Amino acid sequence: MHKFRYVRNQLHCENISIRSLAKKHGTPLYVYSSQTLIDNFNRLHKSVVPLDHLICFAMKSNSNLGVIHTLATMESGFDTVSGGEIQRVIAAGGDPRKCVFAGVGKTEDEISFALSKNIYCFNVESEPELTRINQIANKLKKKAPVAIRVNPNVDAKTHKKITTGTYENKFGIAYEKIAAVYARANKLKNIKLRGLQMHIGSQLTQVKPFEEAVRKVAPMAAKLKTKYGIEFLSIGGGIGIMYEDALASGDPKWWKCKEAKNILTPEKYADTLVPLLKPLGLKVLLEPGRFIAGNAGILVTRVEYVKRTGKKCFAIVDAAMNDLIRPAFYESYHEIVPVKQSRNRPIATDVVGGICETGDTFCKNRLIPRIEEGDLVAMLSAGAYGFVMAGTYNTRPLPAEVLVAGKNAAIVRKRQKVKDIWDGESVAPWQR
Ligand code: LLP
């Protein structure tokens, strides 16, 4: 569920009209709903309440300081993947001691920084990384808390670019090797074995792959607990959200509809997984990103031109693939709705950005109510992997971000100025 809905024909985020935000701050504009972040967090938390657990928000999905602060006040932990993300947690008032640090390419500087901030755990992805962490911890006279990421070789049945838990993927250490790697790690003087971690992929819409992975990994976690006293098992992130029917899914009644039965909800996830996890007596870490932030954000854009070619209708908008890359990168679907509710006849439309690439297309031949130059439209479910993946291709400045809480709305990231795009750039000395 989320807090984007039409009130008197105008799309609102909580109590604020999107039109007023676009007027004040311009477009393209990301708008986030605090209440939706909080509701999603609470809903997941409640569903796993029988477990001793910690939700570590995967901040790669949305690392805006306003968003991180909102979740930090909910006592969330954070799943981070760079020294920069740990710095963001601190800048937003979050607790680095609730951070896990994942990723296959941790640098020496990042490891030292994370150790100096006493993070909760490193999620180690390879044996050379384990060696490096041990060496750095030794230099700093510290013990590094570590969980090893097991690659369970389970197909998450999602898009191939966001599948992570098979032996084709670069992540983690093969299931069959784990016992030997823990035995070795246990002998390293500056390593403290704290947990076991896995993550099989993102945007999972069925519980089965999660179940398969947990069934495979739970007995391993039990053995590691007995042998080395590990305290947690992290089951990663990956809970999928609805991209189609995204607007309708904000309606509390909608969830009782027949269609809603086919969606992976936190309740279904918990009903299957809690009974498998509870007997372990371990703390369980969850690393949701998309489930918390995905439907808590939209990208608002204005139609620059409508180009009717006879064969096709193109609505050319002021957002482009540099602002929201998911459709171009994964051919993913984002529902696109007019900001002013419209009774216009639906027309098969390609909504496209202004970048000089054919892939800069948000949707193709999609039936949307006829839109005109100057109209505002919103791309829904853009709160996760939206702004964080934005870039400045074609020297287009990064969009602004607004956070809404009830009747309050504030810029939480200013629109980038064009000249800031080449900040730090110069001509070479001999060109002057
Ligand atoms: N934990 C780990 C170790 C991860 O690699 C990820 C996501 C998560 C947690 C959070 O997964 P989530 O709950 O958000 O599914 N850019 C892609 C998604 C990439 C996901 C990468 N890893 C997209 O736009 O769909």
Measured by CA distance, the residue closest to atom 5 of ligand 1 is 199
DSSP, collapsed to helix, strand or coil, labels residue 158 as: coil
Report yes or no: 335 and 246 within 8 Å, Cβ to Cβ: yes
Question: Ligand 1 pocket: which of 59, 104, 202 to mutate (most atoms <8 Å of CB)?
Answer: 202
Query: pLDDT tens digits, residue range 16-61?
Result: 999 999 999 999 999 999 999 999 999 999 999 999 999 999 999 9
Known catalytic residues are 356
pTM of the model: 0.97
Check residue 186 and give its pLDDT.
98
Q: Is the CB of 291 under 6 A from ligand 1?
A: yes
User: Rounded to the nearest whole angstrom, what is the distance from the C-alpha of residue 59 to the centroid of ligand 1?
Assistant: 9
User: Rounded to the nearest whole angstrom, what is the distance from the C-alpha of residue 384 to the centroid of ligand 1?
Assistant: 9
In order along its 432 residues, the chain shows pLDDT tens digits of 899 999 999 999 999 999 999 999 999 999 999 999 999 999 999 999 999 999 999 999 999 999 999 999 999 999 999 999 999 999 999 999 999 999 999 999 999 999 999 999 999 999 999 999 999 999 999 999 999 999 999 888 888 887 777 878 888 999 999 999 999 999 999 999 999 999 999 999 999 999 999 999 999 999 999 999 999 999 999 999 999 989 988 888 887 776 677 789 999 999 999 999 999 999 999 999 999 999 999 999 999 999 999 899 999 999 999 999 999 999 999 999 999 999 999 999 999 999 999 999 999 999 999 999 999 999 999 999 999 999 999 999 999 999 999 999 999 999 999 999 999 999 999 999
Report yes or no: 348 and 365 within 8 Å, Cβ to Cβ: yes
**Which atom of ligand 1 sits closest to the CA of residue 385?**
24
How far is residue 243's CA from residue 296's CA, in Å, rounded to a whole number? 12
Q: Is the CB of 327 under 6 A from ligand 1?
A: no
Task: Give residue 420's identity as a one-letter amino acid code.
Answer: D
Q: Is the CB of 102 under 6 A from ligand 1?
A: yes
Q: Is the CB of 301 under 6 A from ligand 1?
A: no
User: Rounded to the nearest whole angstrom, what is the distance from the C-alpha of residue 313 to the centroid of ligand 1?
Assistant: 34
Task: Give residue 67's identity as a one-letter amino acid code.
Answer: V
How far is residue 312's CA from residue 320's CA, in Å, rounded to a whole number? 19
The angle subtended at Cα 390 by Cα 119 and Cα 247, nearest 5°, is: 95
Q: Comparing C-alpha atoms, which of 285, 280, 322 is closest to residue 301? A: 322
DSSP 292-309: HHGGGEEEEEEEEEEEE-
Measured by CA distance, the residue closest to atom 16 of ligand 1 is 385
Q: Which residue has the tokens 């690393």?
A: 287
User: Rounded to the nearest whole angstrom, what is the distance from the C-alpha of residue 148 to the centroid of ligand 1?
Assistant: 18
Give the length of the chain.
Answer: 432
* Cα atoms in the 13 Å half-sphere on the side-chain side of 423: 8
**Which atom of ligand 1 sits closest to the CA of residue 102?**
3
Check residue 37 and give its pLDDT.
98
| Structural domain spans, the chain | 34-292, 296-414
If one looks up domain 296-414 in CATH, what number appears? 2.40.37.10
Q: Is the CB of 58 under 6 A from ligand 1?
A: yes
User: Rounded to the nearest whole angstrom, what is the distance from the C-alpha of residue 61 to the centroid of ligand 1?
Assistant: 7
Q: Is the CB of 34 under 6 A from ligand 1?
A: no
Q: Is the CB of 203 under 6 A from ligand 1?
A: yes
* Domain 34-292: homologous superfamily in CATH: Alanine racemase (3.20.20.10)
Measured by CA distance, the residue closest to atom 3 of ligand 1 is 199
